[in-house]
Amino acid sequence: MPKIESLSVFFPAFNDAPSLPGLVSKTFEVLEAEAADYEVIVVNDGSHDNTGEVLAELAKRFGPRMRVITHASNRGYGGALRTGLAEARKDWVFYTDGDGQYDVGELPSLLREVRLDVGLVNGYKLERNDPWHRIWIGNVYNAFARLLFRIRIRDVDCDFRLIRRALLEDIELISTSGTICVELVKKLELGPYRVVEVGVRHYPRLHGRSQFFRVRSLLITLSQLIRLYVRTVVLGPFLKADPRGKCVSL
Summarised one tens digit per residue, pLDDT across range 35-72 is 999 999 999 999 999 999 999 999 999 999 999 999 99
**Residue 131 pLDDT exceeds 50:** yes
Q: How confident is the model at residue 20 (pLDDT cuts 50, 70, 90)?
A: very high
The predicted structure's pLDDT at residue 139:
85
Which letter, b or e, does each residue of 216-228 get, where b requires 16 or more Cβ atoms within 10 Å of its Cβ? Answer: ebeebbeebbeeb
Cα separation, 27 vs 7, in Å, equals 12
In contact, 66 and 39? CB cutoff 8 Å: yes
Cα-to-chain-centroid distance, residue 108: 17
Q: Which residues pair with 45 in a beta bridge?
A: 71
pLDDT (average), residues 154-171:
94
pLDDT (average), residues 153-163:
95
pLDDT (average), residues 18-23:
96
Query: What are the residue boundaries of the structural domains of the chain, listed by start?
Result: 4-249
| Proportion of the chain above pLDDT 70, given as a percent | 88
**Residue 178 pLDDT exceeds 50:** yes
pLDDT (average), residues 221-228:
79
Q: Which residues contact 115 (CB under 8 A, 6 or more apart)?
A: 194
The predicted structure's pLDDT at residue 224:
77
Higher pLDDT, 141 or 103: 103
Q: How confident is the model at residue 140 (pLDDT cuts 50, 70, 90)?
A: confident
Q: Would you list the DSSP string of 42-110?
A: EEEES-SSSHHHHHHHHHHHHGGGEEEEEESS--HHHHHHHHHHHH--SSEEEEE-TTSSB-GGGHHHH
Class of domain 4-249: alpha beta
Lowest-confidence range among 69-78, 145-154, 163-172, 225-234? 225-234
**Residue 238 pLDDT exceeds 50:** no
pLDDT (average), residues 169-193:
89
